Amino acid sequence: MTAVHPPARVMRAGILGTGGVARLHAEALAVLDGVELVAVADASVSSAASFSATYGSPEVFDDLAAMLAGGSLDVVHLCTPPAGHAEQAALAFAADCDVIVEKPPALSLTEVAQMEASAKDAGRMLAVVFQQRTGTAVAQLRRLLAEGSLGRPRIAICHTLWNRGEQYYSVDWRGTWAGEGGGPTLGLGIHQIDLLAYLLGDWESANGTFWRLDRDTEMEDLATGTIVFRSGAVASVVTSVLAVREESLLRIDTELATIELAHLYGHAHANWRITPAAGVPAEEIARWALPEEEVPSGHDAFLRDTYAALLARRPVPPVAADAARGLELVTALYASARLGRAVSHDELDHDASLRGMLSAPVIDLRGDR
């Protein structure tokens, strides 16, 4: 007699905010087993309705409270501007939902700590979308670095050279401290900075300088900085919205190899290069090879791994954990510019005044243009 098994549990997901990044979430959810997108909400009901018609006709709501009341949800995806994340997460946790939130998770480390505490109190999970951490290449290189197979990291370069102009900043909440909470270092560069820390581990100190060369915003359009990691590695960090040829660049030089990643918004194996030092045995180099079965970075990989954990009620996987990791470094860079000196990890941990809303003086070189 064939055993009859109960159907696998299906998690009911809702998406708050139906802009561009929400589409990546909806497309990834559509191919996941055990998950159903049942609700979407947006202050623009017409936007939400159009989104719903494209992605399987989930129920449409005009705000989060209504969606939580009517959606019978298990998971809420926050695809909204960061200024609202902390309050929205608290509402979702209170409704007994897990939360998957786009970066940056909030506007300050204080808010992230509140979100983590709310999740713990409710017995729910908080996952932050840093999809650059995903993919088989990152997993392999993180393992090699952690086990010391590539030798000690020495030098790193972390550049986010993008271009954002008038159309990008025409959105009313962008380009202001109140709306974005920070400039492109927070809104854009945090992806690559987070990936750097994901690969190199704990950091020791950060020193940043912020510049305004062209864009008419309250914050920087160029940032330069230095991060020292506890391994002794020293990283140069540059983030800008002024690049004509856009590129995201990560390079780590260790004792035995140079690791390079050149891409824009996502990476696959072809975007990575490992150059061995002279004299490294061929059999050791062969151990460094990326897996034959390739998984590129992206929301698909992120949500697949995250939902596997949510369905099993396991802790969120490393690609979704450590909500404050990237924001810690970004906060330290802004605090450094404000104080005029390097800021240490220990100082950031123990000085509550550094963990609040970001601010920094910006050196304006626009002149009379």
Whether residue 230 is found in the same domain as residue 262: yes
In the 8-state DSSP scheme, what is residue 182? S
CATH of the domain at 107: 3.40.50.720
Confidence (pLDDT) at 245 = 98
273-277: long-range pairs with CB below 8 Å, 24+? 274/141
The H or E element that residue 86 is part of is: helix 85-94
Residue 29 falls within a domain, yes or no?
A: yes
Asked whether residue 207 falls in the same domain as residue 338, the answer is: yes
Is position 161 within any domain? yes
Number of domains the chain is built from: 2
User: What is the bridge-based pairing of β-strands 153-163 and 234-240?
Assistant: parallel
What's the rounded Cα separation, in Å, for the pair 329 and 229?
11
**Residue pointed to by tokens 């626009």:** 366
CA–CA distances in Å: residue 136 to residues 114, 267, 269: 32, 10, 8
Are 126 and 252 in the same domain?
no
What is the predicted pLDDT for the residue at 369? 56
* Residue 9: per-residue pLDDT: 76
Divide the 369 residues of the chain into consecutive groups of 10 and give the mean pLDDT of each group: 51 97 98 96 97 97 96 94 95 98 96 97 97 98 98 98 96 91 96 98 98 97 98 98 98 98 98 98 98 98 97 95 94 98 97 95 85
pLDDT of residue 168: 95
Give the domain-ending residue among 114, 132, 150.
132
Q: Which of 132, 160, 178 is the last residue of a domain?
A: 132
Strands 75-78 and 98-102, by their bridges, are: parallel
Is 71 contained in some domain?
yes
Alpha-carbon gap, residue 74 to 92, rounded angstroms: 9
Q: By residue range, what is the domain housing residue 105?
A: 11-132
Element (H, E) at 314: none
Contact 195, 132 (CB under 8 A): yes
User: Does residue 197 belong to any structural domain of this protein?
Assistant: yes
Q: How far apart are the C-alpha atoms of 29 and 299, rounded to whole Å?
A: 9
> Both 114 and 192 in a single domain?
no
* Torsion of the alpha carbons at 250, 184, 85 and 192, rounded to the nearest 10: 0
Give domain status of residue 310, yes or no. Answer: no
pLDDT of residue 3: 46
